[in-house]
Structure 1
Amino acid sequence: MNEKELAARFRPLLEAELADLRAQSEMTAEGRAPVTLDQQSVGRLSRMDALQSQAMAQATEKRRHQRLSQIEAAFRRMEAGEYGYCATCGEAIAGKRLTADPAAHLCVGCSKGR
């Protein structure tokens, strides 16, 4: 399969994942907001729970942004005509690998550090 066929096959999947990640980010924005430490309204354990929930939401958002960056890089590779080729060795990335992760930029060998 050539680069254009690969891009045509995987672009819709990447666009759907991108939209989903953005929607998730919007829905979870409240959980990442600063925690109010009003000692009159909640106890110490409730504040600790709130801080822990906030930290987990922020970590999830960080991973979400990393994935967004990977997807955006895949779109740039599509525009440059480099999609489906390993960024390290230049060999074609296996179709099964792209099926598992359409944003993959390394072949299996290079991802394992041949």
Structure 2
Amino acid sequence: MTEAEARQHLIARREELAQEDRISAEGRAPVKLEQDSVGRLSRMDAMQQQAMAQAAERRRQAERKRIAAALVRLNDGEWGYCATCGKAIAPQRLANDPSVASCVTCAA
């Protein structure tokens, strides 16, 4: 994967994450307590779905941070090299996820 392809992939993924945020905004909203119309199990289910949506949001935030860091490395000419040991990251690893910052050895 070339640097240009990696940049394009990272920017596209960042846009996908923003779209996922817009779609899931309602699911992360506080659960309203409507005791007249909703039973206790339905409220518990809604609260569980809210917690799952919030966990997904935290994962998207972490991925956005990795993408931002990878774009900085691309701009600085450091993309493709391990942030820990400085060795080249395997091309297959970068093709799988261009936001990775470490080689397989350091990641383990």
* RMSD (Å) for aligned C-alpha atoms: 1.1
Aligned to 2:83: 87
Counterparts of 2:67 and 2:90, CA distance in 1: 18
Counterparts of 1:44 and 1:82, CA distance in 2: 54
Counterparts of 2:77 and 2:98, CA distance in 1: 15
Superposition pairs of residues 43-54 of structure 1, within 5 angstroms: 43-54=39-50
- Aligned pair count reads 108
Residue 28 of structure 1 and its aligned partner are, at CA, apart by 0.4
Counterparts of 2:32 and 2:4, CA distance in 1: 47
Aligned to 1:102: 98
**TM-score, with length taken from structure 1:** 0.91
Superposition pairs of residues 1-114 of structure 1, within 5 angstroms: 6-112=2-108
What percent identity do the matched residue pairs reach? 53
Question: In the alignment, is the contact (CA less than 8 A) between 1:6 and 1:84 conserved in 2?
Answer: no
Instruction: Give a deviation string over 1:9-35, Cα, whole Å, max 9, x none.
Output: 211111111100110011100000000
Matched letter for residue 56 of structure 2: T
Moved over 4 A (4+): none
Counterparts of 2:80 and 2:2, CA distance in 1: 7
Matched letter for residue 41 of structure 2: L
Instruction: Give a deviation string over 1:50-100, Cα, whole Å, max 9, x none.
Output: 000000000011001110110011001111111111000001111100001
Matched letter for residue 28 of structure 1: S
Matched letter for residue 47 of structure 2: L
Counterparts of 2:26 and 2:40, CA distance in 1: 21
Counterparts of 1:24 and 1:17, CA distance in 2: 10
